[in-house]
Amino acid sequence: MESRPTRQNNQVIPTLADSVQAVPHSRIRELAEIAMGMDGVLKLYFGESNQPTPDFIKQAAIEALGAGYTFYTENAGLPSLRRAIADHYQKLHAVPLDPVTEIVVTASGVQALNVAIRCVLDPGDEALVLTPAWPNGAAIVAMDNAVPVEIPHPLCGDRYIVDFDALERAVTPRTRLLVYTSPSNPLGWVATVDEQQRLLDFSRRHGLWLLADEVYDRLYYAGARLGDPVPSILRLATREDALMVVHSFSKTYCMTGWRVGWLIARADLAKRATQLNEFIISCAPGFAQKAAEIALGAGEAEIVTMLARLKANRDFCMQSLARMPRVTTPKPDGAFYLFPKIEGLRDSFDFCRRLLEQERVGLAPGVAFGAGGEGSIRICYAADQSVLEPAMQRLERFLCSATPV
Ligand SMILES: Cc1ncc(COP(=O)(O)O)c(C=O)c1O
């Protein structure tokens, strides 16, 4: 692509901004677009369940439309939804939050990431991003004309850990932000309380903003009871800490298409994010916010049912993968992904493309998730057994074929 305007037939043809060309495209989406042109694909590449949104949430949206929630709302979201989010944190984490000054409703988790990151980075600043990670965090940093610096999670035995030495080495005078995701997409890694504390201490010591992406906190299989959330980092931090927590209704309530999320942050950042919302999206749709409020209040039983299904899916896929040649799968404690490592695999995109063409199974290539991702593939196990069973059989057949890697 030309970076300067060109002339053609006496006309100047404007070109796109140079800076936008530095934004990487999503290699998950690239693979998905090949798959979308094919019939009969078992689709496990996107991070979503094939379960519809529970009926009581859909009903709440219909009632909200009837009740007149068809107008703009506050930039920070409906006060009643922000109160419901504050109550939710009090109940699940014993963390008191001020719904007026510390909570901003957003039109999705990805919009919360956008507005949060935009609030702390100037062009040329650097952001440390723990990877392998959902690519959007690093891409949003690049969209803001800043520089993502990827720090891979090393695998230590059966568990991913945080490389604190690498973090120390990566800090420069331009570093302003550290981004991590727990539970992680794609690893399923869950930060321990000790790791959370060290990430917080590290950020405090270097004067960095810490962004915790906690959108999968309810999809947790290692708590005392199924349904217990991963303890939020908000339990450790004070409200004066330079902390931002991003969340979403998408994963917990099967609401990916609704586009409602939230941001919790120090009051000055929350205020600025509210102001920027006006220029990005103004507000999430009012009726979707109202339905989200009902989801928070009445969704607990559905969450436990969903978790039992997800846990069974996870265990089924882990057992299937254990039988496959050259495959090692670290056991995840959260989210709904497996990230098996395949011995000898150097080009995970090519592997996924051939798997798609030969076996009609759509997985996400590890390379899509940044440093440390190549050599692995991501399986989203939120689908039904009727999809997972044939997908595992076909993956095994492919891995046993002549040239799998
Ligand atoms: C780690 C992580 N954060 C945030 C999101 C954003 O979710 P949404 O924009 O649907 O709320 C996703 C979606 O896949 C994700 O995996």
Query: For residue 366, which of 141, 213, 186, 130 has the smallest C-alpha distance?
Result: 186
Residue nearest to atom 8 of ligand 1 (CA): 109
User: What are the pocket residues of ligand 1 if the criterion is a CB atom closer than 6 Å to any ligand atom?
Assistant: 47, 108-110, 134, 181, 185, 213, 215, 248, 250, 256, 261
Q: Quick one: tokens of 193?
A: 């309380």
Low-confidence ranges of the chain (pLDDT < 70): 1-4, 402
Residue nearest to atom 13 of ligand 1 (CA): 47
| Confidence at residue 66, expressed as pLDDT on a 0 to 100 scale | 98
Are the C-beta atoms of residues 214 and 247 closer than 8 Å to each other? yes
Ligand 1: atom nearest CA of 184 is 1
| Confidence at residue 3, expressed as pLDDT on a 0 to 100 scale | 57
**CA of 336 relative to ligand 1 center, distance in Å:** 12
DSSP 261-295: EEEEE-HHHHHHHHHHHHHHTSS--HHHHHHHHHH
Structure letter (DSSP) for residue 146? -
Ligand 1: atom nearest CA of 108 is 11
Rounded Cα distance between 284 and 250, Å, is 13
Residue 118: φ, ψ to 5°: -60, -30
**CA of 216 relative to ligand 1 center, distance in Å:** 8
**CA of 369 relative to ligand 1 center, distance in Å:** 13
pLDDT tens readout for residues 19-60 = 898 888 899 999 999 999 999 999 999 998 888 999 999 999
What is the Cα gyration radius of the chain? 21
Rounded Cα distance between 165 and 198, Å, is 12
Residue nearest to atom 14 of ligand 1 (CA): 47
| Confidence at residue 1, expressed as pLDDT on a 0 to 100 scale | 44
**CA of 348 relative to ligand 1 center, distance in Å:** 22
Ligand 1: atom nearest CA of 48 is 14
**CA of 1 relative to ligand 1 center, distance in Å:** 30
